Amino acid sequence: MKNYFTFFILVLITSCTKESNQTPNTSSNQIFPNEVGNHWVYKYDDGNSNSEQYIYVDIVGITTFQGQSATIWTSTLQDASNSKYLLDSSYVVVDNDTAVFYAPPCLTCTPQPVYEKRRYVFPLQVGNFWFTDKFFGDTTKVLNEKSLTVPAGTFKNTFQLSKTIGYVTNSFTKDSIWLTPNIGMTKYYQNEYSLGPIPGNGTWELTTYNLK
């Protein structure tokens, strides 16, 4: 009887342990890193250069945008000669289930246009999709969830997204984005055109990161 009772307790403990290790795919478990001081470094391949290039993504400050608190993100390219160029900057507004990247406002424009560059909707689930009301179409889809290996390591439960904007006036977008909850973007293939290729086109792979 004593041996039977001991066996029952062990089974119960094992069962509880297995259950506690299961992480549900909820928005609270898919944190989008958005703290000032966060820093990501990506190895960058533009398909043309044989020398190593890197892109640095940093959250550098906080501002107010459309009456909401927004973080300021910058992307900087370091080319083969170690020269650095600001590629892009964004105002990012995050709530419980959405992260939206906006172009910084045009201070000389009246009225000031609001341009949404990218949107993530959490929790990420394969098959989910969302879009903006641009007349030529702007759709983001969650394609799959897999393990991803990049120079920074192997990241499980990474979601691959596609972002497409239909062809109009010599412009289009056909991006692939790999997002790892709690880490951020771990890989990115930018394929954008607006009267010519957009700076940053090519493959970005995470090499190092520092999150606050």
Distance of CA 161 to the CA centre of its chain: 9
Indicate whether 129 belongs to any domain.
yes
Indicate whether 156 belongs to any domain.
yes
Residue 163 is which amino acid?
K
List Cβ neighbours of 60 (8 Å cut-off, separation of 6 or more): 36, 72, 73, 74
**Number of separate domains in the chain:** 1
Residue 28, pLDDT > 70, answer: no
Residue 17, pLDDT > 50, answer: no
Indicate whether 87 belongs to any domain.
yes
Residue 78 is which amino acid?
Q
Highest-pLDDT range among 6-10, 38-42, 194-198: 38-42
Indicate whether 43 belongs to any domain.
yes
List beta partners, residue 129: 141
**For 211, which DSSP code?**
-
Distance of CA 88 to the CA centre of its chain: 15
pLDDT tens string 71-116: 999 999 998 888 999 999 999 999 988 999 999 988 777 777 788 8
Between 21-25, 36-40, 166-170, the lowest mean confidence (pLDDT) is in: 21-25
Indicate whether 2 belongs to any domain.
no
Indicate whether 19 belongs to any domain.
no
pTM of the model: 0.83
pLDDT tens string 156-186: 999 999 999 877 778 889 999 999 999 999 9
Note the pLDDT of residue 105: 84
The CATH number given to whatever domain includes residue 163 is 2.40.360
pLDDT band, very low/low/confident/very high, at 20 (cuts 50, 70, 90): very low
Residue 22 is which amino acid?
Q
Note the pLDDT of residue 187: 98
Distance between CA 128 and CA 159 in Å, rounded? 11
Residue 10, pLDDT > 80, answer: no
Residue 6, pLDDT > 50, answer: no
**For 161, which DSSP code?**
E
pLDDT band, very low/low/confident/very high, at 27 (cuts 50, 70, 90): low
Note the pLDDT of residue 167: 75
Name the average pLDDT for the chain.
85
Indicate whether 9 belongs to any domain.
no
- Contact by Cβ (8 Å): 74, 86: yes
List Cβ neighbours of 185 (8 Å cut-off, separation of 6 or more): 40, 57, 177, 178, 179, 204, 206
CA atoms within 13 Å, Cβ hemisphere of 126? 8
User: Residue 93 is part of which domain span?
Assistant: 25-210
Indicate whether 4 belongs to any domain.
no
